[in-house]
Structure 1
């Protein structure tokens, strides 16, 4: 079996291809549709999801070059969701730059996002593989689940009773399925056995849940410069994150009154609200509780990966990736 790639090798492959594609897209007419897409693809990012697809393909001895179009499809789809998410979440900054709807306008961001969702399928269908039908079906299922997760996320903002299990199901759909789907598509392109493709999907689900719990924690406690967007956005939007739901569960009567005050207040100073809620989270030791929950999913992910029928040394890049995700600051 040929030598393995590092995750940095695979991220660079994706970056190089995206630079090439962004340049071509930016020269396409009408410019008001395509230039925001060029802007989005050039904003940077970790390119984790496409790298995950290529890692899984490499794990099972597949042709990474053959899988590159599918990897680009995943990244274009992911970035399409960010365009629309930023509008829905009223987020002005993405990767330390103006969000597309702020640099251009909301209508442009909506339409360019729509175009990106179609473009993702165009890249996917360029993939030459006997598994093309399998990966297209999985991609479509995943895309629909991401939309379901986003709807639940919005629904929860106006619901008073949301359980932690409700929240975990929402982030499974909104975040984890795209990570899991990326891994499984890579395995399918490498013609891995169905059982192993399912195991690598399970690895991705658990890793995705750990990833989102980390993201929620960073939204409150990270340094903004490292995080790449304004911190405290979840607090301002009354997002029913693990932190908020656990705080409502553990709060003493006085803390619960304070939390409900900020959840129900329509007119407030944003920094004052962030500071007040963050103070309660700190008093309740929620940083540590959230990290423990995230670690549970991390351990579950490693068990799923352990069950995959592949040599241990070939799994090392995925183990390293999982460790990196657990230690990230942005």
Structure 2
């Protein structure tokens, strides 16, 4: 157990505790032994009163409306952008350091956007906004790999196609995929549900995530561009993306083309990627080996395979990555931000 009576240990609040990311946050607080002197849970009125176990202690979910953050040191927000827009700043004003897992503040100049393995150096004190933003679930694994490429060879362009799981839409997204799959198996002509996704996801792929922008790109695609630039400190980085929802329960995959500024040696590239913290390169010893959402392995690692330098363009290479979007793409990165804050004494 990580609950301690030490008054110097932080008190924690989880907003959106009953959702898929909230459940994962609770699991990680327990398994990573994040020290705390108490965890409070908050959610919408319809979930208030529900009881959940945290570190062997029974916690009652409180209604976010009227929740008092004055005795909270760290508040994890994972209840959606609209909830964060309404409640994150008031929580910070009451004294909580907010770690926000939505798009609400990622591009706010007073709010650092953090992937600890890449840009922990931006955490030098309490942010002016009182908020630290957690990046998009597809941006996090990508920038964890691009950083070392930029340092060694420089980057001219990145082209990404994502293959994003139903869990990106939370537990309701998973349930809609499962329901639609069962319906389709029993009746191929059945009308399949499409509430969480713009088209039915069962036995389908949907190249449209989030809302459409005037540019013709979706907001999900725009996020990957602007967030990568901010995290890597490269305001002119050229990233272009097609984001696709696929009928997978959990774990996002990405096909990534990178054109570097100098010729790339595959052996050196693989060695540099494999040396990164919490990264597994599957074809380091067996060329062509690759991870999949079902078989990748350690859910706390970014999994890489199919690393190929283009024979016709030695500055360009492809790779395939898989990462658990509920953990690496959300809850784990948020907990690692909290660990960094605590290690540096920034509360």
Per the normalisation by structure 2, the TM-score is 0.30
Structure having the larger proportion of residues in helix:
1
Structure having the larger proportion of residues in strand:
2
